[in-house]
Amino acid sequence: MSLPRVQSRSGTNADVDATAPKVHVVTFGCQMNKYDSLLVEGRFQRHGYRIVGEADEADVLLFNTCSVRDHAEERVFSWIGELKRRKETRPELVIGVLGCMAQRVGEEIFRRAGHVDLVVGTRAFHNLPDMVAELRQRRANGLAPKKARVIALSLGEQPDDDREGEPYTGGRLGYLAVMRGCDLNCTFCVVPKTRGRVLSRPLDELEAEARWMVAQGAQVITLLGQTINSYGEDLAAPGPNEPKHLGRQGRPSLADVLYRLQQLDGLVRIRMITGHAAYVTPALARAIAECPKVDRFFPLPVQSGSDRILRAMKRGYTTELYRDRLSLLRDAVPDIELGTDWIVGFPGETDEDFEASERWLAEQAYVQNYVFKYSPRPDTHAGEALVDDVPEATKTERNQRLLRTAERTQLLRLQGWIGKRVQAFVEGKNERGLLVARSFHNLPISFAGEDASIGTVLELEPTDATSFGLFAKRV
Ligand code: SAH
Ligand code: F3S
């Protein structure tokens, strides 16, 4: 893979032809979407387009969307609605909807928002410049705007992730999608529908992309995947004379990715989001223990502390099995910190079920907790077949209660770090003028220091804690 031809500053490539068409991408949702949006920008730059920082300046305006909860989709429709008038005065403007909502809603988007020109699902991003060219050609040939539209929703495509000729614009803190999709089928979740089945990228390709990022300034790489530790399950097992990897039947696994990237010069830290208990293995636990660049932190969404609800969610584990998997991690990495996600108000959740979640949170002492109110999604089993019977007010109350439990638990956990020396990577500066760092356990730390230490690893001593992070002094 060669180095980029286009220089870039903070997401814009002002050095290219000023008459080139201008693209702006608005991103909703998760880190994977942010990663995909950078990929889209890179692809356009490779085709001679300019990336602009303002939606108003764009000739091609794209929305990379999220479907996980209902309000995420409604926000996109309201943004797009506001563009209706602009499109009337500037009919040459190209408006596209990309990603999960495009995949899920498809043609219906054209019906709800007649001024949208492009609907592009989660596995067709790499073709976007060609699709825009096709659309413009159709218009130039005199097709009416509605006839010129382009839609691409196949989930069967192998995305082309080769970054040759593209600038890396992700900065110091980079993201790298190691796999896409999910083979599980949690009853509340729309992701298998929007992102398709697991598609893991080959180890060599991941290493090449990581090198390309590091050569252009990435120091931290966060590895991304919907169920990141199922990485490799879809890759071929090696033949009798081929080297064996650490996954099932010698397949590559996330542990192999970690050992590979650990060796990259210039890469300082490696992080991961998001894991699933069913795929936690001793090899993964050992890799986290043995790779000093890998954060001693693992995000392992549990969703509920009630076995009854976990079964209804079809999470693929009981609390007992989840606890066993945590033990694998804790045995190998005794000081590991854990993050998790929760859903409150899933159909049928009783006060007792909810209290089981509260107890589980406190017992496992997660240092990071994301709490969501259940949102019924179309095309999911729970959305279609279960009654959304927990009243909104109860969901809100449980949400607040679980957040309070989380805050108490996080505070205790973080207070445990006071007085201990930690290594931390300094990421930048906050609005109060303090430097902000992440410890090697992925804990946020702020402290007074020099700007020159941004981008370096320092030894710090935490002196105080809140529920969300530590204050420290330099050692
Ligand atoms: N792969 C991850 C989940 C990805 S979705 C896992 O195994 O858990 C990110 C988070 O959004 C989930 O962890 C869940 O807490 C939340 N979420 C997903 N679908 C939801 C829904 N229908 N309602 C509310 N929250 C939801
Ligand atoms: Fe969704 Fe469950 Fe997969 S939450 S992403 S179906 S593990």
CATH of the domain at 50: 3.40.50.12160
Return the DSSP state at 53: S
Ligand 2 atom at shortest distance from the alpha carbon of 301: 4
Per-residue pLDDT tens digits for 62-83: 999 999 988 889 999 999 999 9
Does one domain contain both 187 and 65? no
Does one domain contain both 193 and 117? no
Smallest CA-to-CA distance from 103 within 205, 161, 180, 22 is with: 180
Do the domain assignments include residue 372?
no
Cα–Cα distance, 85 to 82 (Å, whole number): 7
Do the domain assignments include residue 377?
no
What is the model's pLDDT at position 234? Answer: 96
- pLDDT surpassing 90 at residue 17: no
Per-residue pLDDT tens digits for 229-278: 999 999 999 999 999 999 999 999 999 999 999 999 999 999 999 999 99
- pLDDT surpassing 50 at residue 1: no
Backbone dihedral region for residue 338 (phi beyond 0: left; psi -120 to 50: alpha; all else: beta) = beta
Smallest CA-to-CA distance from 82 within 102, 106, 63 is with: 63
Q: How many domains does the chain have?
A: 3
What is the model's pLDDT at position 165? Answer: 81
Per-residue pLDDT tens digits for 152-197: 999 887 777 788 788 899 999 999 999 999 999 999 999 999 999 9
Query: For ligand 2, is residue 228 a contact (CB within 6 Å)?
Result: no
Please tell me the distance between residue 261's alpha carbon and the centre of ligand 2 in angstroms. Answer: 26
Per-residue pLDDT tens digits for 422-448: 999 999 999 999 999 999 999 999 999
Mean pLDDT (the chain) is 94
Please tell me the distance between residue 189's alpha carbon and the centre of ligand 2 in angstroms. Answer: 6
Does one domain contain both 53 and 134? yes
Does one domain contain both 140 and 229? no
* Domain span including residue 429: 422-474
CB neighbours of residue 471 within 10 Å: 16
Last residue of a domain, one of 295, 327, 342: 295
Cα–Cα distance, 164 to 126 (Å, whole number): 13
Does one domain contain both 144 and 180? no
Does one domain contain both 54 and 176? no
Q: What is the CATH number of the domain that holds 451?
A: 2.40.50.140
- pLDDT surpassing 80 at residue 18: no
Please tell me the distance between residue 423's alpha carbon and the centre of ligand 1 in angstroms. Answer: 31
Q: What is the CATH number of the domain that holds 199?
A: 3.30.750.210
Does one domain contain both 51 and 135? yes
Do the domain assignments include residue 326?
no
Cα–Cα distance, 217 to 89 (Å, whole number): 41
Do the domain assignments include residue 194?
yes
Query: For ligand 1, is residue 189 a contact (CB within 6 Å)?
Result: yes
Residues above pLDDT 90, as percent of the chain = 91
Do the domain assignments include residue 316?
no
Ligand nearest to the CA of 68: 1
Which residue is listed with tokens 């490799």?
232
Ligand 1 atom at shortest distance from the alpha carbon of 315: 7
Pinpoint the alpha helices (H) of 117-232.
128-140, 145-148, 191-195, 203-215
Smallest CA-to-CA distance from 344 within 361, 325, 363 is with: 361
Please tell me the distance between residue 374's alpha carbon and the centre of ligand 2 in angstroms. Answer: 14
For 307, phi and psi rounded to 5 degrees?
A: -60, -35
Per-residue pLDDT tens digits for 376-388: 999 999 999 999 9
Q: Are strands 470-474 and 444-447 parallel, antiparallel or unpaired?
A: parallel
What is the model's pLDDT at position 15? Answer: 53
Smallest CA-to-CA distance from 224 within 328, 308, 299 is with: 299
Does one domain contain both 34 and 76? yes
